[in-house]
Amino acid sequence: MSNKLSSPLKSDSLETVTNPERKLSWQVASNLFVSFKYAWAGITYAFRTQRNFKIHVSVCILALSLGIFLHLSAVSMAVIGLTSGLVLALELLNTAIESLVDLTVKQTYHELAKIAKDCAAGAVLVAAMVAVFVAGILIIPPLWVEVAGYLIH
């Protein structure tokens, strides 16, 4: 969710430049395994380089772990999983948009580039706030019961 307009990528981390296997990655993947490999490369790139993606993954794991600990219903766990997954997916899209904008404007400032990056970051923020709200509604009441039971005994 950064507003920096300079590219966060180092030239040595660009797989299309340094990895001959990816030089034709603009073409349709030759099979399903290759498609999944490219998708996983995007996820691992985001996890390695994007602080906010790491934060979202951690909060997602925490929410799902609390849900398991509190024996939440399957529907509650599905809702937490879906909202968390939406946040992660939007963070990946935000990273893609930021990279594409950086590629387009290079090291220059452009108001439309700022708008694109800010709106993408805003989408992630809205989804994250909704996910926290939903998880709070589903987790806090049973957590409160669990803590109160622990304190009474």
Q: What tokens were used for 69?
A: 């600990």
Q: Tell me, yes or no, if 91 is annotated catalytic.
A: yes
Q: What tokens were used for 138?
A: 């589903």
Return the percent helix, strand and coil in the chain, to nearest 5.
80, 0, 20
List phi, psi (to 5°) of 24: -105, 25
Catalytic residue among 15, 21, 91, 111: 91
> Which residue numbers are catalytic?
91
